[in-house]
Amino acid sequence: MFFATAPSATPAAARRAPAIVVCAALAIVALRAASVCAGTTEAHRAMVVAENALAADAGAEILRRGGNAVDAAAATALAVGVTNPVSCGIGGGGFMLIYLSRTHRFYALDYRERAPLAASATMYVRNGKTDEELARSGPLAVAVPGELAGLDAALKRFGTMKFSTVAAPAIRLAEQGFPATPHLVQDIARTMAQVAADPGLKATYLTPAGAPPRAGDILHEKALGATLRALGDDPAARFYHGAIARTIAGWMKAHGGLVTAGDLAQYHPVWRAPLHRGYRSYEVWTMPPPSSGGVVLEILGMLAGAPVSGLGADSPPYLARLIEVMREGFIDRAQYADPDFIHVPIEVLLSQRHIDEALKRALHRGAPAHLAPAADHGTSNLLVVDKDGNVVALTSTINTIFGAKMMIASLGLVLNDEMDDFAAGPGVPNVFKLAGTVANEIAPGKRPLSSMSPIIVTRHGRPVLAAGASGGPTIITGVLQVAVDVLDFHLGPAAAVEEPRLHQQAAPDVVFVESRMPAATRRALAQMGYRLKEVPALGAVGAITIAPGDLHGAFDPRKGGGASGL
C-alpha cells in the first residue's frame, strides 16, 4: 500500500551530547535503574542486534556460516526465546518485516497468536460481570501460538538454511545452559509467587531452595531444548500436528484451557502488504494491522508538517509538539484491529487530509480524549542486516512477564497470555489499563491488536535505518523518537537510543517522562500545563544505521542485550 510522500525539508544539524540513561522501565511497569550506556557495535558486512547478547551471537554465528538475514533472524528469535523466556518464545507469536536487496521489495509476515475457536466475546463474563483476571493468567488466557509457524514460513520462502541448522544455537543454550541476566532475574523475582505456583516454571527458574537465581547463575531448559530438537526440519508440521500438538491439547484440556488440536492444526501465518509513507526525504516501512505500525507513520506524518531539528531534541517546544501528535495517533489507534475481521480504514488514517486535520487538532488541543493506557511488557525485538544488504526487523511476544504464568513442563513451553490483548468486555481494561473496544473484541480465530511496530527506513530506495522495540504502547513512541533522533537530529543509533524519552497515549491525561529528561525541560513542560509522571525509563529500543560497508547497531540499556557484527 502506497501513500503520498510528505513534503521534503532540509533538517539543520542539532547534535547534542547523549544523555546517560537508566535501565528499563515501561510506562506502567518500571524496572530497576542501571547507569550504563547503550551497547553499540560497528561492523562492515553484517549486524545482529537483540535483547540478549547470546541471542545476538547466535544470529551472528548463522551469518558467519553463510546464512542470510532471514536465517539469522530465525536463529536469534529462537535463542532469545531460550535466554529471555519472560518476554518471548515458541509459545508466543510476532511480526517480521523483511527487505530483500536483490529485488528491493518489502514483505510483512504476521504470525500473531489467534483466539481459540471456542473463544467468544463473553468468555470472561461470570455472574454478569467480566472477570478480567481470567484473561491475564491461567489457561483461559492462552491464545494459539504462532511463533514456529511464522519462522518456518519465513525460512521456507526466503531462508537458505534448514530449521535444524538455525535452531542449533538455541538448542545448545537450552541444553548446556546460559547465565541469567539481571533483567531475567528481576522479572523472575517480580513474578515470584506465580512462578513458584507453577511446577514447570518453579523447577526451571527457581533454585532448589525456591529462590530466584542470581545474575550469572547458569540456567538450563532441557525440556525446551528437546522440543526444539524434536522439531527437526519441519517445525510447523511437528508442532501444530502430531505428538507435540496432542501434548499441548491434552494439557490444555486437563487444565481448563480452550486451545485444541484443531486450533493448532488450523493455525497459519499471514503474508500481508507492508505499510509505508514518506517522511521528508525518507520512506518509512512497517507492519500493517493488527500491528500498530500505522500509528508510527501517522505521527511521523504530523511531524513532517514542519521541520523539528531546529528546535532541539530536548527542547520544550519540540517535546510539546511531540506530546500532542502522540495523543492524536493514539486516539486513532482505537480503530486498529485484526483486518481479517474488522475493516481498518488505514487509507484514510494515513491520508494527507486526515493527517493535516489531526495536526490541526494537535496544535489546538481541547479536552483530552477519554481513552486508557496499554502495554504488553513480555516482548522482545531483534534486527538483522546481512552481507548482501537484506534486512529483517522482528518483534516477538508472549504478552506479559512469563505470559499466562504457566509452562507445559514436558515440552518446556512457556504459554502466552495473549488473550489479554483483546477487549475482555465492553470498556473493561486489560492488565495495562487498555479499555476494550468493539473493534478489538474477542472472536474465534481472531488476532489481537498489538503495539509491536518494527520499521525499516529507506532513502533513494535503500535501507538506512532499522528499528524496533519492546514495552507495550511505549514501543510506538520509542520507535518514533529514535527514528526522529536519527533522521532529523542526525544522532548515531547509540546516542538516539540513549536519549531520554517521553510517552503520551491519549489517556490517562498524563505525560510519562523519563527521570533523565533535563529538569529544566520537565519544569517547562509542567508550566505549559502538562501533568507529568516521572518514571525510570520507557520501553527498550534497538536500532541499526545502514550505509555501504558501515553498520552501527545499538541495543537499549533499559533492558540490556547485545549487538554482534561481522
Average confidence (pLDDT) over 93-121 = 98
CATH number, domain with residue 355: 3.60.20.40
Nearest Cα to Cα of residue 472 among 498, 499, 503:
503
Decide if 23 is inside a domain. no
Cα–Cα dist 402/85, whole Å:
7
pLDDT digits (tens, 9 = 90+) for 445-454: 999 999 999 9
Lowest mean pLDDT among 288-292, 481-485, 507-511: 507-511
Same domain, 259 and 171: yes
Q: Report whether pLDDT(278) > 70.
A: yes
Same domain, 84 and 200: yes
pLDDT confidence of residue 143: 98
Lowest mean pLDDT among 12-16, 88-92, 215-219, 268-272: 12-16
pLDDT confidence of residue 424: 75
pLDDT tier at 111, thresholds 50, 70, 90: very high
Element (H, E) at 462: strand 462-470
Lowest mean pLDDT among 29-43, 521-535, 546-560: 29-43
Same domain, 187 and 107: yes
Same domain, 82 and 167: yes
Specify the DSSP class assigned to residue 114.
B
Decide if 33 is inside a domain. no
Average confidence (pLDDT) over 104-132 = 95
Q: Report whether pLDDT(538) > 50.
A: yes
pLDDT confidence of residue 426: 57
Decide if 72 is inside a domain. yes
Specify the DSSP class assigned to residue 137.
S
Given 440, 468, 493, the domain boundary residue is 440
pLDDT tier at 307, thresholds 50, 70, 90: confident
Decide if 54 is inside a domain. yes
Decide if 84 is inside a domain. yes
pLDDT confidence of residue 373: 40
Establish whether 207 is a catalytic residue.
no
pLDDT tier at 362, thresholds 50, 70, 90: very high
Nearest Cα to Cα of residue 93 among 434, 385, 380:
380
Task: Report phi then psi at 122, rounded to 5.
Answer: -110, 20
* Region label for 177, one of left (φ > 0), alpha (ψ between -120 and 50) or beta (otherwise): left
- Count up the domains in the chain and report the number: 2
pLDDT confidence of residue 176: 98
Residue 290 preceded by cis peptide, ω within 30:
yes
Same domain, 310 and 344: yes
Same domain, 519 and 496: yes
Given 392, 414, 440, the domain boundary residue is 440
Distances (CA, A) of 262 to 21, 28, 135: 47, 36, 21
pLDDT confidence of residue 423: 85
Marked catalytic residue, from 83, 130, 165, 379: 379
Helix, coil or strand: residue 168? helix
Element (H, E) at 76: helix 69-83
Residue 378, all three cell numbers: 513480555
pLDDT tier at 365, thresholds 50, 70, 90: low
Same domain, 209 and 146: yes
pLDDT digits (tens, 9 = 90+) for 178-198: 999 999 999 999 999 999 999
Q: Report whether pLDDT(513) > 80.
A: yes
Decide if 22 is inside a domain. no
Q: Report whether pLDDT(369) > 50.
A: no
**More confident position, 481 or 437:** 481
Average pLDDT, the chain: 90
The residues pairing with 380 across neighbouring beta strands, listed in sequence order, are 396
pLDDT digits (tens, 9 = 90+) for 243-264: 999 999 999 999 999 999 999 9
Same domain, 415 and 303: no
**More confident position, 27 or 325:** 325
pLDDT confidence of residue 364: 82
Average confidence (pLDDT) over 281-300 = 98
Same domain, 368 and 387: no
Given 418, 440, 462, the domain boundary residue is 440
pLDDT confidence of residue 263: 98
pLDDT confidence of residue 508: 84
Same domain, 77 and 122: yes
Q: Report whether pLDDT(394) > 80.
A: yes
Average confidence (pLDDT) over 542-561 = 96
Q: Pairing state of beta strands 511-514 and 532-535?
A: parallel
Same domain, 90 and 214: yes
Decide if 409 is inside a domain. yes
pLDDT tier at 284, thresholds 50, 70, 90: very high
Decide if 249 is inside a domain. yes
pLDDT confidence of residue 9: 34
Task: Report phi then psi at 508, rounded to 5.
Answer: -65, 160
Residue-number span of the structural domain to which 267 is assigned: 42-271+379-440
Same domain, 139 and 235: yes
Distances (CA, A) of 471 to 147, 243, 423: 19, 35, 19
pLDDT confidence of residue 363: 87
pLDDT confidence of residue 36: 43
